Amino acid sequence: MATSLVADRPTDTAEALAFDQPWVEVDAHRRSRLRWFNLAMGLVHLAFAGAMVGLGNDFSLQVSTLSLGGPPGTPIADGTLSEAFTVRLAWATAAFSGLSALFHLLIASPVGFGAYVRELERGRNRFRW
């Protein structure tokens, strides 16, 4: 279990980002479990992205724009609705899952894991966002 190292820990996001001292201890056992968890979740997200691409159909959603044809105050009913582009849902879902896989695998890698643990020890997780 994580334990607090200092009593005067930050109480909101701005304080937490400015506070650059460790205030939560992340022991070796928890580090190991976090690394394996992120590796597993990265592989799950990667498999899901592949499944979405492989099993996806041609269903797409239209993204439209509304252009008003007159001066400010022109009624919306007088506007022109036009299709800007379409988004294939399977590919959009796969892209989101692929991005999640990328960051889980980055966190589990030797390159990103040290930074991830340092962030957790300071009570924040910027990798999550």
CA Rg, the chain, in Å? 23
What range does the domain containing 106 cover? 3-128
Q: Report pLDDT digits (tens) over 65-104.
A: 999 888 888 888 888 999 999 999 999 999 999 999 999 9
What are the backbone angles phi and psi of residue 41, rounded to the nearest 5°?
A: -65, -35
Whether the CB-CB separation of 45 and 100 falls below 8 Å is answered with yes
Residues 101-123 pLDDT 10s = 999 999 999 999 999 999 888 88
Instruction: Supply the pLDDT for residue 45.
Output: 98
- DSSP assigned state of 78: G
What single DSSP character describes residue 76? Answer: G
| Count of domains observed in the chain | 1
Name the residue among 26, 24, 55 with its Cα closest to residue 113: 26
Exposed, middle or buried, 7 (CB in 10 Å: 0-12/13-18/19+)? exposed
Under a CB-based contact definition with an 8 Å cutoff, are residues 88 and 56 in contact?
Answer: yes
What percent of the chain stands above pLDDT 90? 57
